[in-house]
A = this chain, B = another copy of it.
């Protein structure tokens, strides 16, 4: 069945039923089906939104609908994680061509509900519109952690200090490597290819690490979504600092090195869509975070005084490397069209 046969209100009813089955938090007052959703709140609230557009952010030829639904939520979870926050209410806006199969929308919703269960969020509303280009927008609302005195514990882009250690979670570049393989580059072993494709199709932002880091006293963070150097650049600009990054300390997975031996560093520095966290804090705070983490966290450099907010990428011998990779600008490039 096509969505045009089911109609807008039939589709909304179908989504509402699936979301109700998935369960709703006790703070929710009104969910899907009224003019607005409503919930009880206190303290500092957070909101972020990200849109995925066919042809720019994904290709339905390569990306299963279920993964699309998972990622539409998790790219937003990543932003809340970068604030050290707790995600709660999600809105789903779907732009769909009239001949979209209802079964595909079911898969998308199933993926989003899986992610919603994994990260303890609930879908509370959204919008459905007809459009030739498939588009998925998720808006995610959450709240900030608070300390014992009720003061909110937020990590921001502007919270870094000169001398702070710069750390990143997980491995970088895997998602960009996976994209290349999905686009047809056949390189490395089947195992490495499967691992990298999974990194691209199924983001797993380290939400608990963000919350733990905020509790441990980290005050500066960003999620790595547009490429390490570009995202670190945002922290530098917002904090009025520069940064030094040691190239050999950037965490690169064995799979990425195997599949893209020449481009691994470039993919790790500018590939984008990693959805890992970059943290900046005094070295002893970062050490305490590393001690408590259940994922690898690599210290890759330090924040430095620099009025021009430059990032210097250093080789093992201390020499400066030219910046590899370009980072991501949504009005200048389109991944699936390259």
Contacts and interface: CB of A to CB of B under 8 A. Distances in A.
Contact of A135 (B43, B78, B95): B95
Contacts of A156: 30, 34
A204 to B, nearest CB: 17
Given A8-B332, A154-B29, A331-B96, A38 B34 contact: no
Interface stretch (A17-25, A49-57, A248-256, A306-314): A49-57
Among A127, A128, A152, max chain B CB count under 10 A is at A127
Interface stretch (A108-116, A137-145, A183-191, A285-293): A137-145
Interface in A7-31: 7-9, 11, 29-30
Interface residues of A, number: 75
Given A56-B131, A331-B130, A137 B51 contact: yes
A148 interface: no
Contacts of A334: 130
Interface string A172-185: 00000000000000
Nearest to A128: B330
A125 interface: yes
A93 B126 CA distance: 14
A38 B29 contact: no
A48 to B, nearest CB: 4
Among A51, A157, A158, A333, max chain B CB count under 10 A is at A51
Nearest to A78: B35
A222 to B, nearest CB: 6
A222 B35 CA distance: 7
A197 B156 CA distance: 45
Nearest to A29: B44
A4 interface: yes
Interface in A88-119: 89, 91, 93, 95-96, 98
